[in-house]
Amino acid sequence: MNDCCTPDTKDRTRRYDLAVIGAGSAGFSAAITAAEQGANVALVSHGTIGGTCVNIGCVPSKTLIRAAETLHNSRASARFAGVSAHAEVSDWRATVRQKDDLVAGLRQAKYADLLPAYNGVAYREGQARLVEGGVEVGGTHIAAGKIIIATGARPAAPAIPGVETVPYLTSTTALDLDELPRSLLVIGGGYIGAELAQMFARVGVKVTLICRSHLLPEAEPEIGAALTGYFADEGIEVVSGVAYRAIRRTESGVALEIARDGRNMTIDAEKVLIATGRTPNIDGLGLTEFGVAVSPKGSIVVDDHMRTTRASVYAAGDVTGRDQFVYMAAYGAKLAARNALNGDSLRYDNSAMPAIVFTDPQVASVGLTEAAARAAGRAVRVSTIGLDQVPRALAARDTRGLIKLIADAGSGHLLGAHILAPEGADSIETAVMAIRGGLTVQQIADTIFPYLTTVEGLKLAALAFDKEVAKLSCCAG
């Protein structure tokens, strides 16, 4: 443990304004926000400092995804006449070690090394439990006026008969494999399953992805269907619409029994990765005894002010089961800290929340889907264009993808934007700002966008509400 994180024993009897349980992104956001307001904060955590994102989530997965992308790009280079390239995995163990070095460096720089900069934050190592007047850590009572729970979540396994007998991989352990399996069965078609399925396929693993509904069920159906096709082009078999029957170990690995369209099937692989969801980390907190309500799925129930059902206790981040993105965890924790110290005036607002799936093409969205808008009783107009209408994609000779906009039929205000494009993640923030600023699709269409960029596709999609963009000249919107 770094010296900065060693508990300071000289002030165990002092009373803190705020106790924050959990030292991940949400916990640090809450603690720093409170300290900047002059509060005395006890930051309590056990295990590795930094939480999910830097240690086992965003950072390690995205660097390995990028490594795998270099292999795909070499294979795809033939789309340019006269160009050929070759790349291969020569030492996957070295790639994983490089990932580990990056994680360790960021954990130190962005978490451990930050603590000395905030004199108002005292770090306490240990398992916390809620008690009257504060929290108990390792038998020591830490008095605090307010409490924020930010303990995050961990991978969860579905109730498939036999799953407890199978040595399955999770999104955590899969990133630590130093030897690549010959074949991999991915169970779960959400963003984690999709990202890791493509990553492993690109480094030479034969991948089959199994899901109960379809790939990316929360995305626009056009995006899920298109991405399924692109996966097939890369040799990834997506088997959707299944019911899980049982899973068992075999001499060569694992076998999953499923039912699909009234027929029973068995799918074999050397390894299985379960990516069907996450469960909140609430064990040992004493929530029930302390009057903090949890949902049927085990997440802490909070209102729009981040308050739990127990006065003076707040919660934020993945432990609430809400919007499980690291930036939303940090945002919610910041609100919780400000409300805890200043009277609950701020409300959580995710109406302009960007969501990214780091597949290739990337999936980026904000606001309402078409189905959600119609279910809410909104009269809407919809515009969808393929990337073959976007000059940037034509120049890159990669027209995989589409852009879909949803607008209010009366006012024309942008309600939702959904992008499937190789560079889609870096384009969605323009739509975020448009929704946040209340722009209409006509105002977006009238805005100057730089030529030969992916984000120009938003302008073209806005123009497509009333024009046939295939008949426009370059920049002639």
List the beta bridge partners of residue 248: 255
AA letter at 108: Q
Query: Does 194 count as an annotated binding residue?
Result: yes
Q: Tell me how far the alpha carbon of residue 156 is from its chain's centroid.
A: 15
Tokens of 276: 């069907």
Query: Does 412 count as an annotated binding residue?
Result: no
Query: Does 244 count as an annotated binding residue?
Result: no
Tell me the C-alpha distance between 405 and 465, whole Å: 9
Pairing of strands 183-187, 271-274: parallel
Tell me the C-alpha distance between 425 and 420, whole Å: 9
Tell me the C-alpha distance between 209 and 187, whole Å: 6
Query: Does 162 count as an annotated binding residue?
Result: no
SS3 (DSSP) at 388: helix
Q: Are 429 and 356 in contact (CB under 8 A)?
A: no
Query: Does 190 count as an annotated binding residue?
Result: yes
Tell me the C-alpha distance between 441 and 2, whole Å: 52
Q: Tell me how far the alpha carbon of residue 93 is from its chain's centroid.
A: 25
End-to-end, the C-alpha distance of the chain in Å comes to: 58
Query: Does 277 count as an annotated binding residue?
Result: yes
Query: Does 118 count as an annotated binding residue?
Result: no
Query: Does 47 count as an annotated binding residue?
Result: no
Query: Does 189 count as an annotated binding residue?
Result: yes
Q: Please give the annotated binding residues, written as ranges.
A: 62, 188-195, 277, 318
Q: Please give the annotated binding residues for FAD, written as ranges.
A: 62, 318
Q: Please give the annotated binding residues for NAD(+), written as ranges.
A: 188-195, 277
